[in-house]
Structure 1
Amino acid sequence: MSEFIGELITLIIMGFALSMDAFSVGLGMGMYQIRLRQIFKIGITIGLFHVIMPLLGMVTGHFLSERFGDIAAILGGVLLLILGVQMIWSGFQEKENSVFTPAGVGLLLFSISVSIDSFSVGLTLGIYGAKIVMVILSFGIGACILSWLGLLLGRKVQGWLGTYSEALGGSILMIFGIKLLLL
């Protein structure tokens, strides 16, 4: 039971870290006064992509771990480190403000862009044999809630929090990458 709780807490923290880019982009997008109905749709769509992408990654990771064993486990830890560094780096880069409507193809592209990193983390979790249902629920629910929060807060504040939230998410992923490499 203690192992279950520990894994659940770890997955919730990882889901939070992965959802920080959706939160930070949502902050900026929310400043364009998107209607509440659209905010609801955006959050649900991002949540679904944060279920699909890690699921695909986990299936791939499970396959790789069966084929390559310890090498795949080391690569999984390194992948989390690289992803964390990339998130921190991109969080402090100047971003162009591209205004597009988060509907139709624009919403799909937005959802893919903020959930692609969850494929990589899913790959690592598949290598380590994490529980699929716990992963996809933690990631999907976390992404949905943080997207809604970012979009709603974006209606109220300027973008001062976005850079720091993405850097925080990257730091959390780096910590888990180091933890996996040291075990």
Structure 2
Amino acid sequence: MNPFSILLIGVAMSTDAFAAAVGKGAAMQRPRFPQALRAGLIFGAIEAVTPIIGWLLGHAAARYITAWDHWIAFTVLGLLGLHMIWNGFKPDAGDGDEPPRHHGFWSLAATGLGTSIDAMAVGVSLAFLDAPIMLVAAVIGLCTLVMVTAGIMLGRVLGALAGKRAEIVGGVIMIVIGTAILHEHLTGAA
């Protein structure tokens, strides 16, 4: 496996996370770079670990992972999207003195897991290619770190333009990503 192929895998595995991060960034109230970097680190770590798990599961579990990965991603991202939409429609509790909304570790981790399930299946396939899994996982993690950090900051701009309803848009983005993953796997589209 050449370096260019490894980089392409890293970028491909981080695109769903990027789209989800734009939605998260839009839902957050004025996220700053440290918050974006934190989200990038969480997503990147999860994205780096899942192909290793897949690689370790190997051939024996491949049919089970690939048979369910799209359903797991669809469910996790769909539920997160619905939750974000629900929060977008809820009236503000206070008179504007509410502290800025930050997305906690578990919310970010669940979103990261939802966007990285396919990376586990990629890890399974890499077990058969004699690929340097640690290098591939590191590249996937670094690409995701960069893409998610940029996505949160891009979402910040979109969130400032859209106001409170940006969380609804972010929720719709999550559902669209989950649906796209499900559609891709069910139809065999690449």
- TM (norm. structure 2) is 0.68
2:99 paired with 1:91: no
Aligned to 1:135: 140
> Partner of 1:150 in structure 2?
155
Aligned to 1:28: 27
Report the secondary structure of 2:87's partner residue.
coil
Structure 1 residue runs of 4 or more that deviate by more than 6 Å after TM superposition: none
Post-superposition Cα deviations, 1:46-99, rounded to whole Å, max 9, x if no partner, equal 11112211222222222111xxx1x42222323331134222465356423597
AA partner of residue 39 (structure 2): I
Are 2:80 and 1:81 aligned?
no
For structure 2, the residue ranges without an aligned partner over 5 or more in a row are 91-97, 127-132
> Max radius of gyration: which structure?
2
The one-letter code of the counterpart of 1:83 is I
Task: Check whether the contact 2:52–2:137 (CA below 8 A) recurs between aligned residues.
Answer: no
Amino acid at match of 2:43: H
**Residue 169 in structure 1 maps to residue 177 in structure 2:** yes
Contact 1:42–1:102 (Cα < 8 Å) also in 2: no
Inter-CA distance 39–164: structure 2 relative to 1 (3 Å threshold): same
Any conservation in 1 of the 2:40–2:147 contact (CA below 8 Å)? yes
Question: Any unmatched runs of 5+ in structure 1?
Answer: none
Structure 2 counterpart of 1:76, which letter? I
SS at 1:128 equivalent: helix
What is the rounded CA distance, in whole Å, between the counterparts of 1:59 and 1:100 in structure 2? 38
Conserved? CA contact 1:54–1:121, under 8 Å: no
Deviation string for 1:13-37 (max 9, x for gaps)?
442213333322321213xxx3xxx
Partner of 1:45: 38
Cross-structure match for 1:63: 56
Partners of 2:172 and 2:118 in 1: CA distance: 21
Identity %: 13
* Distance in 2 of aligned mates of 1:85 and 1:18: 14
Please give the root-mean-square deviation of Cα atoms over the aligned residues, in Å: 3.5
1:78-122 C-alpha deviation (Å, 9 max, x unpaired): 33311342224653564235977567xx64344324323245333
**1:40 deviation in Å?**
0.4
